[in-house]
Amino acid sequence: MIRSSRILFTAATIFLAGTMFAHAARNPQPTATNCGSMLNNIRQSEGSGNYSTNTGNGYYGAYQMGRSALIDVGYMRGDGTWTGKNGINSLEDYLNTPSAQDAAFLEYGNRNLTYLGNYQQYIGQTINGVTVTRGGLIAGSHLVGAGGLKDWLTSGGSCTGRAVDGNGTCAGTYVAENQVNETCSGDEVAAGGGGSCLSAHPVQSPVVFSEYGAWNRPGAGSGNGWHRGSDIYPQGAQGQASTNQPLFAAHDGKLSVGSMGVKVTGSQFRTLYLHSYSRPDPKDVSAGEEIAKIGDNQSAGKPHLHFEVQVPASAVKASKCVPGSSTDDCVFPVGGGKRDPNGYATSDALSSASPNTWYYVNPERYLKERVPVVGMAAVRAGRSQSLPNTCTPGQDVAETPTSSGDSDNSAAMAGGEGTYMTSGGSAAANADKDLRSLAINMTRQNALELRAAASLAQNLEGRTDSALAHMLLLMSRTEIGQQ
């Protein structure tokens, strides 16, 4: 959140480096236990995760670094001009270079540790129920300056005076949220391209009931391929109760409409909200703004949100994808074949991808906080909570069979994700209803799904006749010709 004003201290005590809107309540951050999560916490708290944030109050980027801090770490001169450090020669350069912002924050954090000096002896102690860590000292001094953090440490954790920022946030809050003792090098962020997390949830209090990365999920139809998104309900409004529940933009961007739902396109993310019937006019939207309603578009009788997150190649430096073993962090090129068993991207493909290549990534890694995982997803994944939101596709590099990255087709939007996972029992119950469902949905099918329908009809021996197969094939060709 963005703060409208700052308090400046002398160079020895350093100024307040946290910011937020004075009128907005601060969103609590999850407890970080590694460097990547800690930096994400600070980005979310300071600049709502947006590296391009510029509120006009003299504090810039995802970490809301001000002139004094940028001078302190060598990015600016006293007269306000830029030094060229790390290739940053202007404010525009700074706002468009996440890696430089990450580096500036870490260097400034180390400076604050220097200013704290012997106060680092508090590391390992518990103050007012909060364990003090190295990362906690960096985070706390980023919020209230080294001087304010010293007051918090020596007062037994009192949230008064300089220990509280201008919006009422206590240094102890930042210390508690960032339980990191390791020394952060910046590589933790670079591995994800300096990516940021989403700043709003797509539904109110989400729960994940069908996880990302599954191949040919039982109950989702024969040969359904890769699940390149997460199926989500609002907590307390699951199943049919989710119909017409609001969908919210998970980040700032441009709203557009496709055959199966809506899409928000921003500089760092494309997010897709599928199965919605909503048809809003294209417009600019802000994170948290209502954009559509949950429906059962091409998922007849099974309303839910199929939520997809796409990021550019620059935000994907590593992928861990081992089919049959670990698929939580597979990445898939947009435009690639959903039903291609080797359709995930390898490290080689990622390193050679063109800048305009975009990839599907696991939404759980980018959610603003961890959320419950329920039902069959919890059984299959062996966990009841979403994966840590590292804001990167994965932490490890795993060589996998060759798979090329494809550039996004600008005409493509939201095809081929219409099937819905319930359970094995539901799959058996619905097996004999293939033709009925096919007929019900026929008027809604897009070109991709009509091709699949035609193929299905031609191969359902004993369950349809050649006339129906011929009819479906003609219909699919007619529809394709109209695209």
Question: How many angstroms separate the Cα of 125 from the Cα of each of 34, 142, 174?
Answer: 19, 20, 16
- Give the tens place of pLDDT for each residue, 465-482: 444 444 444 443 433 333
pLDDT at 317: 62
| CATH number of residue 298's parent domain | 2.70.70.10
Tell which of 324, 347, 381 closes a domain.
Answer: 381
Q: Residue 16 pLDDT more than 60? A: no
Burial (CB count <10 Å: 0-12, 13-18, 19+), residue 461: exposed
Choosing from 381, 402, 437, the residue where a domain stops is: 381
Q: How confident is the model at residue 190 (pLDDT cuts 50, 70, 90)?
A: very low
Nearest to 367 by CA among 389, 398, 334: 389
Q: Is residue 411 part of a domain?
A: no
Average pLDDT over residues 402-421: 33
CA distance 376 to 454: 30
Asked whether residue 186 falls in the same domain as residue 210, the answer is no
Q: Are residues 42 and 166 in the same domain?
A: yes
Q: Is residue 393 part of a domain?
A: no
d(CA 43, CA 424): 41
State the pLDDT at residue 78: 93
- Looking at the domain assignment, is residue 21 inside a domain? no
Answer whether residue 420 is part of any domain. Answer: no
Higher per-residue confidence, 97 vs 471? 97
Per cent of the chain over pLDDT 70 is 72
What pLDDT was estimated at residue 185?
Answer: 66
- Domain, as residue range, for 284: 206-381
CA distance 456 to 476: 12
Give the per-residue pLDDT at 97: 82
Say whether pLDDT at 341 is over 60: yes
Res 2: pLDDT: 53
Does 247 lie in the same domain as 150? Answer: no
Final residue in a domain of this structure, among 190, 224, 249: 190
Q: How would residue 346 be classed by pLDDT, with cut points 50, 70 and 90?
A: confident
CB within 8 A of 426, min separation 6: which ones?
219
Length of the chain: 483
Number of domains the chain contains: 3
pLDDT at residue 457 is higher than 80 = no
Looking at the fold, whether 288 and 248 belong to one and the same domain comes out as yes
**Residue 26 maps to a domain:** no
Q: Would you state the pLDDT for residue 26?
A: 63
Same domain, 125 and 175: yes
Higher-scoring residue by pLDDT: 408, 234: 234
Q: If you average pLDDT over residues 88-110, what whole number do you get?
A: 89
Per-residue pLDDT tens digits for 290-310: 999 999 999 889 999 999 999
Three-class DSSP category at 128: coil
- Predicted pLDDT of residue 106: 92
Same structural domain, 211 and 180: no
Cα–Cα distance, 460 to 202 (Å, whole number): 38
* For range 382-399, the mean pLDDT: 67
Indicate whether 483 pLDDT > 60: no
Mean pLDDT across the chain, nearest whole number?
A: 76
- Assess whether pLDDT exceeds 70 at residue 462: no
Question: 92-130: b or e for each residue (b if 16 or more CB lie within 10 Å)?
Answer: eebbebbbbbbbbbbbbbebbbebbeebeebbeeebeeb
288 in the same domain as 149: no
- In terms of domains, do 340 and 445 share one? no
Q: Is the pLDDT of residue 281 over 90?
A: yes
Higher model confidence: residue 134 or residue 324?
134
- Both 168 and 311 in one domain: the answer is no
Residue 184 and residue 135 in contact, taking contact as beta carbons nearer than 8 Å: yes
Residue 420 has pLDDT above 70, yes or no: no
Nearest Cα to Cα of residue 60 among 7, 23, 96: 96
pLDDT at 417 over 60: no
Residue 235 pLDDT more than 60? yes
Lowest mean pLDDT among 165-179, 211-225, 356-370, 401-415: 401-415
State the angle between helix axes of 447-459 and 434-441 in degrees (0 to 180), rounded to the nearest 10.
150
Q: Is residue 422 part of a domain?
A: no
Between 237 and 13, residue with greater pLDDT: 237
Find the Cα–Cα–Cα–Cα dihedral 366, 258, 281, 272, rounded to 10°.
-10
Average pLDDT over residues 237-263: 94
18 lies in some domain: no
Q: Is the pLDDT of residue 322 over 80?
A: yes
Q: Do both 257 and 331 map to the same domain? A: yes
| Structural domain includes residue 365 | yes
Average pLDDT over every residue of 155-164 = 96
Mark whether 285 and 365 lie in a shared domain: yes
Confidence check: pLDDT of 142 > 70: yes
Q: Are 160 and 293 in the same domain?
A: no
Structural contact between residues 62 and 47, judged by C-beta atoms closer than 8 angstroms: yes
Q: Could you give the CA distance from residue 356 to residue 118 in angstroms, rounded to a whole number?
A: 49
